[in-house]
Chains A and B, each alone.
Chain A
């Protein structure tokens, strides 16, 4: 391209290029983001821009009159964040034109995320673009690039298995519950033990629509505290037999040395509910649930090892999909680039 032709660029840092300490320094809170935007708007050579600002990345997408303007922007970054040029130089990467588009596609599709295939990033990119559009920071080039980015991300998510399978213990457990109960709205969840992992599991169930939550603990006060945080009911372990019979999902994470949920207790509960499956999630070490319970009809038992293995397998499968996703990114970038180049030429 002609050196005087405007350039589409991406300048930023992410977990790939910057350690946590540097990312903390360059993170843009609202005030800093406003300061950076004001400076960019007053920079003569910047025609369009949008900022993608998440906990793992700070990236600036824009259209600059020429490459020299982009070089000057490093100093603007320093001025806003208080970093030195040396600190920034090792963290910041600059991508231009075709490469900038391919990078944005990868970011929005979750290919560049710390947890490959995560979906949150697409929402964050959309939010970043909406904000820029509302404030009139974007123009014809970025509008087109971002719209195509959302299409590419949707295409990748629909046509590959990049987002398939959960990769944390709690979400794997919720996923399994979905395969047993379908919709989780009417599912009754019982958490035995008020530990952190149990409560995280509760949160994961709540995020998928579970409404009925009960927390059982050896000390009622602890159970009440945890139940209040989770918006559920509290009970003591003495009431466990009735609660087990009434529950669909039981996540147990006590520090008891023996089995809290014995085979006999579960068998007695199943006699009251033979047609309704029971999903037992044993998150404790040593285990809380008698492994013999897994032999019973309509009872599904998963322990920490089982959940971890599924999470690892899902992650491996996601990573195996990356090559296919990259090929789609390359294809879509090649399709979009001529139109963007044309637009940039006309701007020049």
Chain B
């Protein structure tokens, strides 16, 4: 009876609701105001979208009997889902105006893109994590940390926009709603701290299993994964010591996230016990 409710249909609904939220936010911007009613509509769309996406990932997880991180499609969906979850915490805790709009656009674009590129979801590995819940947790936490870094990239863009607007005295339009520089600095620092912590935990869990079987992970994956973690750690330490701040820090966070996304290729190429199966929908 409810055969139309599939993982992909729910993921589509989630993605479209994110985009609807994005459009709602844009309408607010064109009116140079962001009234409470519009903010409520935006957040309602995002919450329902997020629940739908969660439902889609849950169905996929039930289907594959594990964490749905078996191919690029699932990873990208999970990154978008994580970013939205974080927005609910960060946006509420800091009352960061405009972050909802940015997150909606970012998560909506990622989700729609992954749904449109069919070959990302044609095959997936079976028993990717060797039925080991620790390895599964390692993968999930690692991808979640990418969600954190994604949000950090968004707040870095906001930081760059706010700095540009204040430096060039262009204060209208979208700039009107941007959070303050200090607020964005605080959020960025906390996000990079959280991201590095999560990635450290993930790598710690992964390493504890890797040492038992060092052949289980290919060298390129090992180098890239540790490389991404190390770079983010260095950025965090430089920021903490006040050596990398403001605009330069924001640019580095953006570039780092782009590199982290590129690293998904090598990371994804190496799967423990990888046995691809067709996953046509």
Closest B residue to A163 by CB, please name it: B33
For A277, A309, A313, the residue with the greatest tally of chain B CB atoms inside 10 Å of its CB is: A277
Q: Which of B223-262 contact A (CB under 8 A)?
A: 239, 242-243, 245-248
Tell me if B167 and A182 are in contact (CB < 8 A): no
Number of interchain pairs (Cβ within 8 Å): 62
A158-B35, A182-B182 in contact; A310/B167 too (CB < 8 A)? no
A275-B242, A275-B245 in contact; A310/B182 too (CB < 8 A)? no
Tell me if A179 and B33 are in contact (CB < 8 A): no
A180-B166, A180-B181 in contact; A161/B245 too (CB < 8 A)? no
Closest A residue to B240 by CB, please name it: A275
Tell me if B166 and A179 are in contact (CB < 8 A): yes
| CA of A159 to CA of B36, assembled, Å | 9
| CA of A144 to CA of B117, assembled, Å | 60
Q: Which of B137-179 contact A (CB under 8 A)?
A: 162, 166-167, 169, 171-172, 176, 178-179
Tell me if A164 and B180 are in contact (CB < 8 A): no
B32 on interface, CB distance cutoff 8 Å: yes
A176 on interface, CB distance cutoff 8 Å: yes
B121 on interface, CB distance cutoff 8 Å: no
Closest B residue to A277 by CB, please name it: B181
Chain B residues with CB below 8 A from A309, complex form: 169
Q: Please give the distance in Å from B160's CB to the nearest CB on chain A.
A: 12
Tell me if B169 and A182 are in contact (CB < 8 A): no
A294 on interface, CB distance cutoff 8 Å: yes
In this complex, how many residues of chain B approach chain A with their Cβ under 8 Å: the count is 26
A306 on interface, CB distance cutoff 8 Å: yes
| CA of A306 to CA of B166, assembled, Å | 11
Chain A 304-335: CB-based contact to B (< 8 A → 1; otherwise 0)? 00100110010001000000000000000000
- Looking at A42-50, A89-97, A114-122, A295-303, the stretch in contact with chain B turns out to be A295-303
Tell me if A275 and B179 are in contact (CB < 8 A): no
Q: Please give the distance in Å from A306's CB to the nearest CB on chain B.
A: 6
Chain A residues with CB below 8 A from B171, complex form: 176, 179, 310
Q: Please give the distance in Å from A83's CB to the nearest CB on chain B.
A: 43
A178 on interface, CB distance cutoff 8 Å: yes
Tell me if B35 and A179 are in contact (CB < 8 A): no
Chain A residues with CB below 8 A from B176, complex form: 164
Q: Which of A149-204 contact B (CB under 8 A)?
A: 158-161, 164, 176, 178-182
Chain A residues with CB below 8 A from B40, complex form: none
A179-B178, A182-B179, A310-B169 in contact; A158/B245 too (CB < 8 A)? no
A274 on interface, CB distance cutoff 8 Å: yes
Closest A residue to B169 by CB, please name it: A306
Q: Which of A242-301 contact B (CB under 8 A)?
A: 274-277, 294, 297-298, 300
Tell me if B32 and A164 are in contact (CB < 8 A): yes
Tell me if B245 and A182 are in contact (CB < 8 A): no
Tell me if A181 and B166 are in contact (CB < 8 A): no
Chain A residues with CB below 8 A from B239, complex form: 275
Tell me if A298 and B245 are in contact (CB < 8 A): yes
Chain A residues with CB below 8 A from B242, complex form: 274-275
Tell me if A181 and B33 are in contact (CB < 8 A): no
Tell me if B166 and A176 are in contact (CB < 8 A): yes
Tell me if A297 and B32 are in contact (CB < 8 A): no
Of the candidates B31, B182, B248, the one whose C-beta lies within 8 Å of that of A277 is: B182
Q: Please give the distance in Å from B217's CB to the nearest CB on chain A.
A: 37
Tell me if A300 and B167 are in contact (CB < 8 A): yes
Of the candidates B181, B185, B246, B247, the one whose C-beta lies within 8 Å of that of A179 is: B181
B183 on interface, CB distance cutoff 8 Å: yes
Chain B residues with CB below 8 A from A160, complex form: 33
Tell me if B245 and A274 are in contact (CB < 8 A): yes
Closest A residue to B178 by CB, please name it: A179
Q: Please give the distance in Å from B221's CB to the nearest CB on chain A.
A: 35
A158-B35, A160-B33, A310-B169 in contact; A182/B180 too (CB < 8 A)? yes
Chain A residues with CB below 8 A from B166, complex form: 176, 179-180, 300
Chain B residues with CB below 8 A from A294, complex form: 167
Tell me if B247 and A181 are in contact (CB < 8 A): no
Tell me if B172 and A178 are in contact (CB < 8 A): no
Closest B residue to A324 by CB, please name it: B31
* A-B pairs with lowest CB-CB distance, top 7: A182-B180, A275-B245, A182-B183, A298-B246, A161-B32, A181-B182, A275-B242
Q: Can you list 25 residue pairs at the A/B interface with Cβ under 8 Å?
A: A161-B32, A164-B33, A164-B176, A178-B180, A179-B162, A179-B166, A179-B171, A179-B178, A179-B180, A179-B181, A180-B181, A181-B181, A182-B180, A182-B183, A274-B243, A274-B245, A276-B182, A277-B182, A297-B246, A297-B248, A298-B245, A298-B247, A300-B166, A306-B169, A310-B169
Q: Contacts A158-B35, A179-B181, A274-B242 given; 18 further ones with Cβ under 8 A?
A: A159-B33, A159-B35, A160-B33, A161-B32, A164-B33, A176-B166, A179-B162, A179-B166, A180-B182, A274-B243, A274-B245, A275-B246, A277-B182, A294-B167, A297-B245, A298-B247, A309-B169, A310-B169
